[in-house]
Structure 1
Amino acid sequence: MSRSDPRLYLAPSETVFSEGVSLSLMPGQAHYLGNVMRQNIGDTLRVFNARDGEWSATIDALRKQQGQIVLQSLVRQPQATQGVELLFAPLKRDATELVIRMGTELGVTSFRPVVTERTNTHRLNLERLSLIATEAAEQCERLDVPEIFPLVPLKEVLYEWPEEKVLYAALERRTGEKTGVKASALLIGPEGGFSDQEAIMLEQHPAVRSLSLGSLVLKAETAVCSGLSRLSVNL
């Protein structure tokens, strides 16, 4: 096994990972190994999830949309990513997908898309976004895949948000914490920023803290990267 071996996420199931266990691959995974990575029977790969950790495995069968692997040995113990929950207003499709990919690589534990007054996108393909998050987790070598929640109004989220759970919000042209901040959640607004009414609502919420992203006005997807780095996300 080497660091260049293909790496696949296998969701936890009734079968617990252990040496010698045989596991079936999803059709897309079999296609990826055979047609994209040009793997053959006997080649090695790594498989992982947060419950079972990361294991080395060998390909036992591979044809068209079917594949079988056999687990060999534990490579990494189970470990949950230590990051933040990201609340964000959906953007155009490519930008939203970029947020999911970058957020996964930067340690986001879950994504909560929210509808704001200036949100332009009100439909999300959660299946595709989950696939993007999975591919990003495979690439960046984290052991878990962040959950992506359905789209809900920001007002509803804030109404149910616990007061003891600090939520940092990137509010344009407002002072706030700048560096060395640690928190469990981050809120990034839409293109065009929050409305005045939303800004007041956020400032009045007992759990919300303002987070400064500097003097320049950033694109929403850029603000995600800046905000996560300022919250000192540690994988």
Structure 2
Amino acid sequence: MAETPSPRTPAWPPKSAPRLFVEQRLETGAHVSIEGNAAHYLSRVMRAAAGDAVILCDNATGEWASRVVEAGKRSVELEVAEQLRPREDVPDLWLCPALLKKDRFDFVLEKATELGAARIQPVLTRRCVADKLNLERARTITIEAAEQCARTALPEVTEPAKLDALLRDWPEERTLFFADEDGGDPAADAFVYSEGSAAILIGPEGGFDDAERAAIRAHPQARAISLGPRILRGETAAIAALSVWMAEAGDWLDDEEAMAEDLEPGEG
């Protein structure tokens, strides 16, 4: 008589477990206290109870599974159980988008996080329609985006910098690709030969003015690129350029394919 198969043990932590970034550095056995909006989310929205799983990330060591010890109205106590993944390696790419209207720039922050930008450096140009950024709110948007797309690393988000100051203080070792409405090398062609540190500079709704464009082109680290024959809105240009860079020079490349290209003929 055939044996009755035993029920399969459910995966732990379940894929549906909520995800949160915390400031505390994580390790096995650590106790973490969640308060404020995050506690409300766990206890009221997700209805977390003792024993339930919560995935935690600390932007330093990686991703960890934890269990709820106690779920109260104002705080949730967790105990870290085990590490699931180390912090991901992030390509050394900065996105430098000109500041846009609030909702459009929120979109850039969210999608740049999902796509893997290491740093988001907002830029102020003469044609920017916005001149201020709530940095705390911007960082909250990136955290929420990282939680939703299972990133284990957060992009650095900096205060907006005026274009002239950005160019003046630009690091010598970092290539500055800038999307020029007047044309440049096709982005895919330029990015495929990109080595080392890089950044992508995107203009505002009205584009760079002539003086700004001349100043950028005169910079020794700058390289003009074209994003194709169509006029793109600021947020579209930022996400399109970042996507192409990740495909040509970033971490969208297939690891096995990259290894095969590195082998000499007859090897492997």
TM-score, length of structure 1 as denominator length: 0.94
Give the counterpart of 2:14 among 2, 26, 37.
Answer: 2
1:83 Cα deviation from its structure 2 partner: 4.8
Paired with 1:6 and 1:142, the residues of 2 have a C-alpha distance of 13
CA contact (8 A) 1:112 1:148 kept: yes
Paired with 2:144 and 2:216, the residues of 1 have a C-alpha distance of 34
1:106 Cα deviation from its structure 2 partner: 0.6
| Partner AA of 1:99 in structure 2 | V
1:55 correspondence with 2:64: yes
1:160 Cα deviation from its structure 2 partner: 0.7
1:100 Cα deviation from its structure 2 partner: 0.2
1:19 correspondence with 2:28: yes
Any residues of structure 2 matched to 1:159-198 within 5 Å, and which?
A: 159-179=168-188, 181=191, 182=194, 184-198=198-212
1:3 Cα deviation from its structure 2 partner: 1.7
1:57 Cα deviation from its structure 2 partner: 0.5
CA contact (8 A) 1:25 1:66 kept: yes
1:212 Cα deviation from its structure 2 partner: 1.2
1:215 corresponds in structure 2 to 229
Decide which structure has the larger Cα Rg and report it: 2
Closer, same or farther in 2 for the Cα pair 1:138/1:157, shift >3 Å?
A: same
Paired with 1:129 and 1:225, the residues of 2 have a C-alpha distance of 17
1:78 Cα deviation from its structure 2 partner: 2.6
CA contact (8 A) 2:70 2:76 kept: yes
Give the counterpart of 2:152 among 127, 130, 143.
Answer: 143
CA contact (8 A) 1:46 1:57 kept: yes
2:251 corresponds in structure 1 to 234
Aligned length: 232
Q: Which runs of 5+ in 2 are unaligned?
A: 1-12, 253-268
Paired with 2:234 and 2:35, the residues of 1 have a C-alpha distance of 34
| Partner AA of 1:70 in structure 2 | E
Paired with 2:94 and 2:73, the residues of 1 have a C-alpha distance of 38
CA contact (8 A) 2:97 2:201 kept: yes
Which of 110-119 and 173-182 deviates more? Answer: 173-182
Paired with 1:193 and 1:218, the residues of 2 have a C-alpha distance of 10
2:217 corresponds in structure 1 to 203
CA contact (8 A) 2:43 2:72 kept: yes
| Partner AA of 1:212 in structure 2 | S
CA contact (8 A) 1:81 1:143 kept: no
| Partner AA of 1:94 in structure 2 | D
Paired with 2:50 and 2:169, the residues of 1 have a C-alpha distance of 51
CA contact (8 A) 1:83 1:107 kept: no
CA contact (8 A) 1:81 1:142 kept: no
1:147 Cα deviation from its structure 2 partner: 1.6
Paired with 1:216 and 1:83, the residues of 2 have a C-alpha distance of 28
Identity percentage of aligned residues: 35
Paired with 1:164 and 1:130, the residues of 2 have a C-alpha distance of 27
State the superposition RMSD in angstroms. Answer: 1.5
| Partner AA of 2:204 in structure 1 | P
Q: Which runs of 5+ in 1 are unaligned?
A: none
* Higher RCO (C-alpha under 8 Å, 6+ residues apart): 1
